[in-house]
Amino acid sequence: MKVNGTHYRSLWWDEDKDALQIIDQRWLPHEFRVQQVNTLQEFADAIVEMRVRGAPLIGATAAYGMALAAGSDPSDENLDKAWEYLDKTRPTAINLRWALNRCRAKLKALPVGDRAAAALQLAHEISDEDVDINYRIGQNGLEIIRRIAAGKPDGEPVRILTHCNAGWIATVDWGTATSPMYQAHDENIAIHVWVDETRPRNQGALTSWELGSHGIAHTYITDNAGGHLMQHGQVDLVITGTDRTTRRGDVCNKIGTYLKALAAKANDVPFYVALPSPTIDWTVEDGVAEIPIEERLEREVTHVQGLTEDGRIGQVQVTPHGTPGGNPAFDVTPNHLVTGLITERGVCEASADGLAGLFPDLAKVARSA
């Protein structure tokens, strides 16, 4: 996508500097900063501190981390060490481990002398695959928006509610939940997006920054406003992303997603989840019982970052001194609350049969593992 007229991916390999460049998302939406990542420690810090965030982008970042490790020491021992180090950075998003496993398995099957070049090429491939997958997710989600738009009076937009940021900066490009929105807008279908603020990190501001840059009509709302809008017929559908999806279609996403799904169910509003196939964890069935939920720093809850009156980016405390903050980063929405899963291969019901029907090859591999 474009920033100030220049096309960017969320990360890219700079051939001249022979190093990975990332958008440091901690400063968005107020300041656009690029960081060069040079060491395995910096890769880990980028993931933990959410300089990069979003399950697909975390996976791609981890692949470049493995490439860095293979470039310095391609031995089995060092690859295992890098795998373990990066795997500990974020426990919930499954794309991280998916990318790490894919890299380690391919590299260990090669002669040691071939591993460094192969590792970098594989990281490039994973990034390019992500872009293609997300574009195709957008094509499939676009069909849903088209159908709703066809039943609207002329000029009335399709009103979409989204939660957190599942946009191009949460992937390598296009995004998951936003990809259908971008493609609908580019097709001149009128849409309006309700953007949840998504406390505690206010990632809705990132979605607003993205949509505004693309010229898409949107309104930033508090997390508690979505149910009210649904009650009053102002939401035509909900589309969110997911950080891990179980084989039966439970979806684990940013905290607060479950509440939106409950409100959608109560008001007969379709609730869709957009996901790339690497986000499916075929080893897990019951998301509520089996998916580990990351507990992040309480400061993310007790403090809010924003732009001060004098134009500086700063933080303010919003709680009384000494008040502790609880910060579960994700929740799980059971499959019975999900209208459908939008994937790169099509849209399916959120069920074991639905996912296996679209991905029989992946389901078969999982069953045999």
Instruction: Match 């500097």 to its residue by tokens.
Output: 17
By CB neighbour count within 10 A (0-12 exposed, 13-18 middle, 19+ buried), where does 105 fall? exposed
130, 223, 243, 250: the catalytic one is 243
Q: How many CB atoms lie within 10 A of CB 335?
A: 21
250 is annotated as an active-site residue: no
What are the b/e assignments for 121-153, b being 16+ CB within 10 Å?
A: ebbbebbebbbebbebbbebbbebbeebbeeee
For residue 156, count other CB atoms closer than 10 A to its CB: 12
Report the first-to-last Cα separation within the chain, whole angstroms: 38
Residue 60 phi/psi, 5° resolution?
A: -65, -40
Query: Which tokens in the block code for residue 80?
Result: 């295992």
Q: What is the dihedral angle through the alpha carbons of 118, 124, 127, 132, rounded to the nearest 10 degrees?
A: -100
Q: Structure tokens of 332?
A: 């799980």
Compute φ and ψ for 312, nearest 5 degrees.
Answer: -95, 150
Which tokens in the block code for residue 131? 């872009």
Q: Residue 295 gets which letter from DSSP?
A: B
- The Cβ-side half-sphere exposure at 47, using a 13 Å CA radius, reads 28
Tell me how far apart the alpha carbons of residues 233 and 231 are, in angstroms, rounded to a whole number: 6
Active site residues: 243
